Each structure stands twice: as C-alpha cells, then as structure tokens.
Structure 1
Amino acid sequence: MSARRRIDVHQHVVPPCWAEALPAHGGDPSGWSSPDWSPDSALAFMDSLQIETGVLSLTAPGVHGWHGQAKREMARRVNEYEADLVAKRPTRFGHFATLPLPDVDGALAEIGHAFDTLHADGVVLLSNYDGVYLGDAAFERVWAELDRRHAVVFIHPAKPPIDALAGMPGPLLDYPFDTTRTAVQLVLNGVITRYPNVRIILSHAGGFLPYAAYRFAELAPGVREDVPNREGLIDLFRTFYFDTALSSPSALPSLTAFAHPDRLLYGSDFPYAPRSVSRSFTAAQDGHLALSAEQHAAINRGNALPLFPRLAALAQ
C-alpha cells in the first residue's frame, strides 16, 4: 500500500437504500446535499491520499427521518450494507454501526446485532437526537451497554435545535458548536466517569473543545456543585479522542497543545467534504512542522490500531 497507510476514522458511506429514501423522510435538515458516492470512488479517493482503511459511518441526519419499526429497519439495512463492504474488502474498509436513537430499546437491540453478528468496529452516535444531547439520562442504558462492550464510539455532529442562519447550512457553521455542546455535557453530567471503558472519538478536532477547555473547566465548578474541580475536568476532557477532519492548519496548534498525543486520529470527512477540500486539509496536516515524523505516523495510523483490534490483527 502506501508509505503513510492512513486509517481514516471520519469517512462516510452513502448506502443507496438510504440515499434513495432520504428525500421522502425529511431530507437533510442541515441544508447539506448528499454527494455522489460508490465503493470504487471511495477507494480511488483513499488511494490518492494514501489511506489504507476508511472506517465508514452514516453521517447526519442518520435515520432521524424514519419512525418506529421503519427506523429500526433502515438502521439494520445500513449496517448490513456496511458490513458487506467490509467483508469484501476487510483491509480497506471498517464500519461504525448506526443506531435508531432516540429509540433506546431499538438501539440496544442493534448494538447486539452490530457487534455479535456484523462484527462492527464501533458505533456512530449523533451529537443530539431531537434536541436531546448524549449526556442526557435518557441514554443511560445505551452508555451502559457500550461500556460493557468496551466499544469505540464515533460522535458526529448533527443540526442543533436552533434555526440555521440564512446561507449558512449546519455543516458550515453549527456542527463544531454541537460537537462541543454534547462533549461538555458528557463530562459535566458524569457519563465519562461512569462509563470509562467507552472510547469516544470527537469529530473535527472536537469542535472548539480544545480551544475553550480551560474556560469550561474554570467556570463549571462555580455554577455546579456536582462536577470535579478545574484539574479534574481538564483530565476528563482529555479522555476524548479527536479526529483531524477539516481541522488544519489553524486548529492543529490548539489540538496538539491540549490533547494527549496518543488520542489524535486522522480524518478526511469524505465524501461530504469534496475531494479538493479533503486534500487541502490533509496537505496542511502533513506540512504541520510542529509535529515530528513519529507524531505524524501516530496520527495517520499508529494511534488508531489499539482502537481497532481487527485492523491491528490484519496488519501483522
């Protein structure tokens, strides 16, 4: 393969069954359009950027527009489509399973199927479901099951429960905000402490969490009596993993100054970020002179291998 052999933890799949049905189920409320995608186009893109493996996930809005049993069935169809791609090309693709949240019972059933039958590499969660964020007590049973399974959880932003500004669709402006919102709630509401076996990846360098973490950590103990002190909160914020999708070059200095070095992961955001955009951000990351060759190698591949034992075993 390539010298860098990147593992891309932020790469999306566009299953035909989902894309064809999405317009009849509310479309994408963020205002973004679904791009053309195929397995072959994904592989061509990956080869152009020395990506050995793309860990695929369904982007927002996920299965938000479906309801009841139809929501569960579409999540299952998406997950089985992804699993089939992995079975055909196990070194080139991985997959994060979609859950039919906020249907907790359906989500628990899908976690079992995804891990026990489809051998998923993890799950993808959206930052909020109908305005309910991931640190809410409504999702406690889901976190407990993911913790029991030592799961990898990829959190992707969704449209926040506010109106988008005219001419500024959610992925352009609001998504980093929503990632930050759910991450801080997960910490302050104690989810991270109660379920330490879950490994959580935040999209797009964690929104602005690395940039503003000390603000959150200094202010939170003054308004809540149920949270750790400043140092304890900083430690908890640093337990997250962070992907680099759309996060170079200005975000990288804050990210690398804040995050643990072994918790930085490569991401492209293909195909929702056009090829030219993914290439531009990747080139900026590769040219980030503050990182050593060893650090670049860790971000591109080394840090991901402990999260994905299936890929680590294939690499031996």
Structure 2
Amino acid sequence: MIDVHAHWFPPALTQEFDRVAGKKVWPEHSPELIPRVEELEADGVDLQVLGLGHNQPYFEDAAKSVHCAKFANDLYAEAADFDGRLDAFGALPLPHPEQAVAEAVRCLDELNFTGIGLGTTAVGTSLDDPRYEELWAELNRRRAVIFVHPVGTPDTFSTGLDAFLMGPKYGGPMEATLATTHLVVSGVTRRHPDIRWIIGTMGGSIGYLWRRFEEITESLHQDQWLATDPRGELKKLYYDTTLTDDPSAIRFFADQFGADRLVLGTDSPRVRTGDWANRIKAVPGFDDHQLRGVLNDTAASLGIGK
C-alpha cells in the first residue's frame, strides 16, 4: 500500500516556524518516528508520503518563506533517510515564484522527494495566478507529481474547547473544490498536461457539485468557462481518499470520475493508515483490480515511491 497523504509536525518544526514567522503549526506530533514505522510495517504499508498540509510556509516576507520551506524540507529529508517506508512532498515558499522554482528543483534533484506539496491558496493568491506560470512550466517539464492540500479555513463562530472546528471539517473540502475549479477552468491543467495533480480530500464537493457549476455557467451564457472542457480535465486529475469513509460517497465519486482516479490518502497520524485502508476496502462495487489501484497501483504508476 502507498499512503499519499500523511503529516509529521515534530516540536523542531513547530518551534522554528514560530520563531521565524510567528506561525502556530498544529497539531504537534511526537518527534519519534520508530513507532510510526513499526505501525506501517504491521499494517503492510510500503510507503507513506509526508507533507506540511495546512502548515505551509506561505508568508508575505520572501526570506521567511524560504527559510521555513528549507527547514521543513531538510527535516523531511532526514525522515526519508531514516526509513525507506517514508518519503515526502516538498514544500515551496509561495507566493514567491522565483524562490519557489529554486526550492522545487532542490526538492526533486537534491532531496529526491517523490513530488511537491502545495496549499490551495497562498497569501491571497490562487493556484491559477499568472505569477505561477513559470513554476508550472518547470514542474510540467519534469512531469512532477503535485499534491494539493487545504490550508485551513477558520471557523469564527464556534470557539473554545467545545468548538465545532468547522474549518477543517467543512472548510478544507470546500477549499479543495475551489482550487480544483480554478485549475481546470483557467486552463492551468490543459497548458501543463504533464503535471500529475493529486487533489486532497477527494476534491471536496467537486464530485457532486460540478454539474451545478456547469448548469449555472450555461444559464448565464459564460461559454468561455467551459471552452477548455473542464469536465474532461477533472477526469485527468487524481484524488485522495481523505474526504470521508462513507462507502456511498466514495462509490459516487468513482462513478463520476473513475475508480482509477483515486489514490489512498489517510491524513495519518489523525487516523491509522491500515484502519483507513480497511474502510476503503469496504466500499461496494470495487473489483480486485480497482481496489489494488486505489491502495497501491495508481500511485505507483505516477512514480510515487520510485
């Protein structure tokens, strides 16, 4: 099995982000990797890819972004060197395109990461911002894997110990929905067809709301937004399985875009990888070939883990 969506935020990371940029990284994880590796081995997980997730090094100050990105990437490189079951998606210092290109090259060429991890937005910029064209061109040239993760919509209406925390529960998936729409409608995915995009949280609500986007766009005669065949582009992207463990929801997404577009993602250590994989195995209607694809083969075909 290959888990493409996992995190590791040890005290060294949380302290450095706070010291340099005043960013509160959460949640804080144990610095010890041996128990995690032992758990992966016990569950039959061949590879788990670490990423910064919502804790991206995105700051107005370019120097702070670069420092935090390099610190995190060096820390994850040490984790990957610690055990072969661990790899990483490299973090980039957005919204600073020149520095982001340089760090992407370092992540892929020097640190040998399996791909690049990005947030859905960066300091008020979306992924289709024209300033990022140079970055997409470089990653397209390299046929890179890019994993897109929500950066955290706050819930300002429930606070304290009993907070609903609707930001990560609902806001994150909606961020994924919007980011995916920006990527396909703007033509980014069509202009850079060799980038292998993986969208976190199964693209959020894209599976069941996409037809609404099309229908309202058609009724408003906004033909330009459908001219690039965004539905066709959606079917070229990949999506991880962290949105839900509801079998009917996963089955619906597979029917909309194809089981071959799904890859195993768990949000570990929030949940145990083996446990989440067992929930995916309970989805009705997947044959053995499709299930192997979700749990391992599709991610492997993207070059993850090689």
Number of corresponding residues:
298
The aligned runs of 1:1-316 (5 Å cut-off) are 6-24=1-19, 25-28=21-24, 33-64=27-58, 67-90=61-84, 92-160=85-153, 164-166=156-158, 167-169=163-165, 170-221=167-218, 222-228=220-226, 232-249=229-246, 250-271=248-269, 273-275=270-272, 281-308=276-303, 310-311=305-306
Conserved? CA contact 2:11–2:28, under 8 Å: no
Conserved? CA contact 2:173–2:243, under 8 Å: no
Deviation by residue 1:137-168 (Cα, 9 ceiling, x = unmatched):
232221111111111000000124x7643223
Conserved? CA contact 1:247–1:281, under 8 Å: no
Distance 2:39 2:253 in 1: 26
Deviates more, 1:37-46 or 1:183-192: 37-46
Letter of the structure 1 residue corresponding to residue 71 of structure 2:
R
**CA apart distance, 1:48:** 4.4
Q: 1:86 to 1:11 in 2, by over 3 A?
A: same
**CA apart distance, 1:283:** 2.9
Unaligned runs of 5+ in 2: none
Conserved? CA contact 1:246–1:281, under 8 Å: no
Distance 1:309 1:188 in 2: 27
Q: 1:164 to 1:147 in 2, by over 3 A?
A: farther
Give me the TM-score of the superposition, normalised by structure 1: 0.86
Distance 2:191 2:217 in 1: 19
Once the two structures are aligned, what percentage of the paired residues are identical? 26
Conserved? CA contact 1:246–1:269, under 8 Å: no
Conserved? CA contact 1:27–1:65, under 8 Å: no
Deviation by residue 1:198-252 (Cα, 9 ceiling, x = unmatched):
110011111111121222233334453423359x222111111011124222420
Conserved? CA contact 1:214–1:234, under 8 Å: no
**CA apart distance, 1:274:** 4.1
Conserved? CA contact 2:92–2:117, under 8 Å: yes
Conserved? CA contact 1:245–1:267, under 8 Å: yes
SS at match of 1:288: coil
SS at match of 1:245: coil
Deviates more, 1:17-26 or 1:77-86: 17-26
Give me the TM-score of the superposition, normalised by structure 2: 0.88
Cα RMSD for the two superposed structures: 2.3
Conserved? CA contact 1:205–1:251, under 8 Å: no
